[in-house]
Amino acid sequence: MKAMVLNKPGTPLEWTDLPDRQPSAGEVRVKVLACGVCRTDLHVVDGELPDPKSPIIPGHEIIGRIDAIGQCVTGLTLGERVGIPWLGHTCGVCPYCEANRENLCDAPLFTGYTRDGGFATAVIADARFAFPLGETGSDVSLAPLLCAGLIGWRSLKIAGDGKRLGIYGFGAAGHIVAQVARWQGREVYAFTRPGDTGTQVFAQSLGVAWAGGSDEMPPEPLDAAIIYATVGDLVPVALKAVQKGGRVVCAGIHMSDIPSFPYRILWEERQLLSVANLTREDGIEFLGLVPKMGIVVKTTTYPLQQANKALEDLRAGRFDGAAVLVP
């Protein structure tokens, strides 16, 4: 197999020949067809997350086909198309796993961070965390749903059922969640980097009620806001934009420091929450709804060997929607 490998944080990924691995008991080997590029991959590459596997193959929005099955695997067949998400393994026995909160497992493995991911021609996955996808939808358009879509779905649920929803950071997750929220009958308010009129026009094309810079206040107070941007300064900004009893959800794995803010913008039962990872239940629920919601995922594809360029373009905000690598 071949892979784009991160040998050391802060250095470019390197195109590498690796021996083919056989799946152990409970695992499958998946031939990768497409793998999305997520902001979390940038955090891994930049060394902003603690204790990564090293060297590591990044990538956790994987679409592929099973080409080898280990012992004790049930319910999956050779050739079946599956999606492999960020949460790659849970222990099954810790208090969180037992309480149906496996997203907070005490001994998890994360695809593309603490176990090898999908910036490769093949990946070994825990069979329990390979979602059967069926044959509807293209590999490239499905890939971003595996993280941007799934974590987006979880963050949307945690934001509650308020009608007016703000989205700060209108990238891969933002543009998917905006469409889900519209399908649910909500009004979406899209906040981009100040002056990024291109992304504001893109948001409007998806039917949002309003689009503007994150330095602007929405025309109406929001019931909830989700922050996908990694900018801690947006937390007090979003708290000011939500009305009494409103929620602000931080959906990223990493954020710059949050500045201090006056207590009065939190008071009146506003809530500030974070979202971590996903559960398999989130995955099954969301992927089951995808065919009904009619989501159009905007993608820019890159050959696998150009993963470094895709990461740099993501960092610089050079495309709308999501980047996807194709081996």
Q: Put residue 299 in one of left, alpha, beta given phi > 0 → left and psi -120 to 50 → alpha.
A: beta
**Per CB under 5 A, does 40 bind Zn ion?**
yes
Alpha-carbon distance of 320 to 13, in angstroms, equals 23
> From the CB of 260, what's the least distance to Zn ion, in Å?
29
Alpha-carbon distance of 299 to 203, in angstroms, equals 15
Q: Which is nearer to Zn ion, 125 or 222 (CB)?
A: 125
**Per CB under 5 A, does 18 bind Zn ion?**
no
> From the CB of 97, what's the least distance to Zn ion, in Å?
3
> From the CB of 153, what's the least distance to Zn ion, in Å?
13
**Per CB under 5 A, does 97 bind Zn ion?**
yes
Question: Which range in 38-46, 159-167, 194-202, 237-245 contacts Zn ion by CB under 5 A?
Answer: 38-46
> From the CB of 295, what's the least distance to Zn ion, in Å?
17
Cα dihedral 55/277/200/239 (nearest 10): -120
Residues in the chain, total: 327
Phi, psi of 75 (to 5 degrees): 85, 0
Q: Which is nearer to Zn ion, 147 or 248 (CB)?
A: 147
Q: Which is nearer to Zn ion, 97 or 127 (CB)?
A: 97
In order of 119, 241, 261, the CA distances from 234 in angstroms are 31, 10, 11
**Per CB under 5 A, does 91 bind Zn ion?**
yes
Q: Which is nearer to Zn ion, 63 or 222 (CB)?
A: 63
Q: Which is nearer to Zn ion, 33 or 239 (CB)?
A: 33
Question: Which range in 32-40, 45-53, 65-73, 169-177 contacts Zn ion by CB under 5 A?
Answer: 32-40
47: how many CB neighbours lie within 10 A of its CB? 14
Q: Which is nearer to Zn ion, 200 or 299 (CB)?
A: 299
Token output for 20: 């083919």
> From the CB of 117, what's the least distance to Zn ion, in Å?
10
Single residue of 94, 109, 272, 293 touching Zn ion by CB under 5 A: 94
* Burial class of residue 68, CB neighbours in 10 A (0-12, 13-18, 19+): middle
Q: Is residue 7 within 8 Å of residue 52, measured between CB atoms?
A: no
In order of 37, 57, 152, 272, 299, the CA distances from 112 in angstroms are 11, 6, 19, 28, 20
Nearby residues of 318 by Cβ (< 8 Å), 6 or more positions away? none
Site string for Zn ion, 42-81 (x = CB under 5 A): ----------------------------------------
Question: Which range in 3-11, 17-25, 26-34, 141-149 contacts Zn ion by CB under 5 A?
Answer: 141-149
Single residue of 38, 87, 234, 307 touching Zn ion by CB under 5 A: 38
Q: Put residue 157 in one of left, alpha, beta given phi > 0 → left and psi -120 to 50 → alpha.
A: alpha
> From the CB of 147, what's the least distance to Zn ion, in Å?
3
Question: Which range in 139-147, 216-224, 227-235, 312-320 contacts Zn ion by CB under 5 A?
Answer: 139-147
Alpha-carbon distance of 56 to 3, in angstroms, equals 10
Residues that bind Zn ion (CB under 5 A): 38, 40, 90-91, 94, 97, 105, 147
